[in-house]
Amino acid sequence: MSVMFRPPVAATTTVGWWQVFGFRQGDDAFFARARAAQLQALNRYVPFNVGLMTLNVAALLFSLDGIADADFLVGWGLVMAGLALLWTLRFIGTRRRGDVTEASAALFWTISAEVAAFGACWAAMLVHLLPHANIDAQALLLLLSVTAMGACGFAAAVMPVCAIALVVIICGGAVLSIPAQSPLAMPAIVLAFVTFALLIVRGVIVTSFAMMTRLRTQAELGDQSEVVRLLLNEFEANGSDWLIEVDDEGRLTHVSPRLADVARRPRSELLGQPLVSLLGKEKRGEARAAVRALTATFAARRGFRDITVPVDVGGEIRWWALSGTPKTDAAGGFAGYRGVGRDVTEARRSHDRIAQLARFDPLTGLANRALFREALEDALARAVRTGKTCALLFIDLDRFKAVNDTLGHSAGDRLLRETAGRLRDAIAGGAVIARLGGDEFAVMLPEASVRRVDLVAKAIVATLPSPFDLDGHAAVIGASVDYALGPADGASVDRLLKSADLALYEVKSNGRGAACRFVRAIREKADERRALEADLALALERGELSLAFQPVVEAADEHIVGFEALLRWTHPVLGKIPPDKFIPVAEATGLIIPIGSWVIETACAWAARWPDHVRVAVNLSPAQIDDPLLVETVARALAVNDLDP
């Protein structure tokens, strides 16, 4: 039975202005750690501040010797020396003991009082000396006071009460002690002195709040890290996935029981082993690419996600999905990876089965269009690289639709399956046979000579017309086969497919039941037809079409009884184009409908000018007869031109 451990969540500590200044902190462990951090920050500046204080006191005593009361100066100097000695001894003791993690409120306020006492001693010196000193001594005292406020205020900035108390006491002592008659008592100087003190106070407040906020954030992150650690332990103990840790050389530094279990190897054997040494020897396609991707990622020290790699587990190839992020050491340098892995073998096998179904035609078992295109791409690339030839054959079944319509779809499906069997028998190994859809098949022959391709095409044409027995019904079909050679007829797959398709169109146009090889003339013919289609689409708009009228004569008396309207096209570049060349194009593209309507309307307009007994005849295409708007078009043309039907 698995027991889920839910770690306690630390309550959020309230940090307001009272707490920043050291009040209302109670017995909260967070504030005990915060006070320790504040005292450590103050302690770091003790050597500098003591040295600076010693220099200032020495300069003061030397400069005021003979000017101020010697007894006062000696006593004041001894007090300052005592504070310096106290702080120095505490600094030495702290260094020996090492940093503490918690500090009591009593110690915090004791040291705060010592700092404030320093400010009071300095202010007492100012009160005693400033009123009786000459202008030079007054300037020196104020200058040293500025130094003391700046240095001590900066050093004690993380302890706002003592720092502010020191600054206020020194500033107040200086401002209140300057004689009114002294040139230094002018408002501008006093204002500058007070402004400097206020700037220090503001800096102290901002610094203190920022430090307390940072400490609170660190505490929350620590709590969250502890929660994450506990959850990871739970995950590692009971999860189906496992944690992975490697050093900067890719060697395993942490092996969980779950990892040892799925790898089927002892933990002691796995520790220190390079992760890539577990990878299997599968070197085909995607597996090889995955191993290379993982190795390249390790070399580039980048993070990775769900890289699926083959792993040799007891002689069996399993598939693992690995994810990881770089980890750093204390100096910020790369220290390896920390991540997670999971066994995705079953999902991989299911994916492969689905991919297998997606690449083969379920009815015939032949390759489908996607797999055939992939094989053709590989064969064509190899042919381009080696200078050899590959062949593409298209096979279109003749009369299949009639069998499917008369005998039913089940008979049609059986016919397709048996056709696939005959194609396998007729074509030697090495070829890829595919059903592209409907009754369309294709064959790819890698590294085939022209003679072999021609023999295969003729064999297909010869084998398919033999009757098929479909549940007692004899079905006879045929095949139209065309082929194109790569890279001669197309250096790209699309180009080669287009060439073969053009050849198939050509063989169908010439009566079916034959094999046809693609030649350049077929493409030229197709290009010419496409150009003709494009020009014909604009011919009506450009006024290039016209009508010629052929007389219809009564045989008995050779009397003209009417005219037959004949469509003519005068191309601006090619000149007169015969109707038997452009009429089939118009019928195939559907342009015959608008062109036919124009012919009817124009012929009726001409007939309106002729004598009443003269008739006009217009030829109609089968496509026009099927047009539901034909009657409306004829009626409108007759009505507009006031003609009787």
pLDDT at residue 29 tops 50: yes
Q: What is the pLDDT of residue 435?
A: 93
- Residue 286: what pLDDT? 65
What CATH class does 241-350 carry? alpha beta
pLDDT in tens, 508-540: 666 677 777 775 656 656 656 777 778 888 888
Query: Which range has the worst mean pLDDT, 194-208, 478-492, 595-609, 616-630?
Result: 194-208
Task: Output the pLDDT for position 12.
Answer: 47
Residue 520: per-residue pLDDT: 65
| CATH topology for the 535-640 domain | TIM Barrel (3.20.20)
For residue 437, pLDDT over 50 is answered with yes
pLDDT (mean) for 417-422:
92
Cβ 251 vs Cβ 274: under 8 Å: yes
Check residue 10 and give its pLDDT.
Answer: 42
- pLDDT grade, residue 4 (50/70/90)? very low
pLDDT tens digit string along 268-316? 888 888 888 777 665 556 667 777 888 888 888 888 888 888 888 887 8
Report residue 443's pLDDT band, with 50, 70 and 90 as the boundaries: very high
Quote the pLDDT of residue 225: 56
Which residue, 248, 249, 254, is CA-closest to 271?
254
Token pair listed for 514: 């034959």
Task: Give the model confidence (pLDDT) of 141-176 as tens digits.
Answer: 888 888 878 777 777 767 777 778 888 888 887 888
Contact at 8 Å (CB) between 271 and 299? no
Q: What is the pLDDT of residue 625?
A: 86
Q: Is the pLDDT of residue 233 over 70?
A: no
80-105 average pLDDT score: 72
Q: Is the pLDDT of residue 235 over 70?
A: no
Locate all alpha helices (DSSP H) within 369-449, ordered by sequence: 369-386, 400-407, 409-426
Of all residues in the chain, what percent carry a pLDDT higher than 90? 5
CA dihedral 576, 581, 583, 587 (to 10 degrees): -140
**What was the pLDDT predicted at 238?**
55
pLDDT band at 219; cut points 50, 70, 90: low
Enumerate the H helices of 311-469 as residue ranges.
345-359, 369-386, 400-407, 409-426, 450-463
**Residues β-bridged to residue 398:** 478
Is residue 2 predicted with pLDDT exceeding 60?
no
Mean pLDDT of 613-632: 87
Domains 241-350 and 535-640 share a fold: no
pLDDT band per the 50, 70, 90 thresholds, residue 444: very high
Sequence-ordered list of residues with C-beta below 8 angstroms from that of 542, at least 6 positions apart, any chain: 572
Torsion angles phi and psi, residue 573, rounded to 5:
-110, -45
Count Cβ atoms within 10 A of the Cβ of residue 139 and give its class: 0-12 exposed, 13-18 middle, 19 or more buried: middle
Average predicted confidence (pLDDT) for the chain: 79
| All structural domains of the chain with their residue ranges | 17-220, 241-350, 365-518, 535-640
Rounded CA-CA distance 31/263 in Å is 48
pLDDT confidence band for 133 (50 / 70 / 90): confident
Local confidence band at 228 (pLDDT 50, 70, 90 cut-offs): low
Structure tokens at 110: 């004791």
pLDDT at 526: 61
Q: What is the mean pLDDT of residues 443-472?
A: 87
Fold of 365-518: Alpha-Beta Plaits (3.30.70)
HSE-up (13 A, CA, CB side) for residue 570? 6
User: What is the C-alpha separation between 77 and 125, in angstroms, rounded?
Assistant: 10
Q: What are phi and psi of 239, to 5 degrees?
A: -80, 165
pLDDT band for 417, please (50, 70, 90 cuts).
Answer: very high
Beta-carbon contacts of 448 under 8 Å, excluding residues fewer than 6 positions away, are 389, 390, 391, 456
How much is the pLDDT for 433?
92
Q: Which residues of 596-619 are buried (b: 16+ CB within 10 A; e: fewer)?
A: bbbbbbbbbeebeeeeeeeebebe
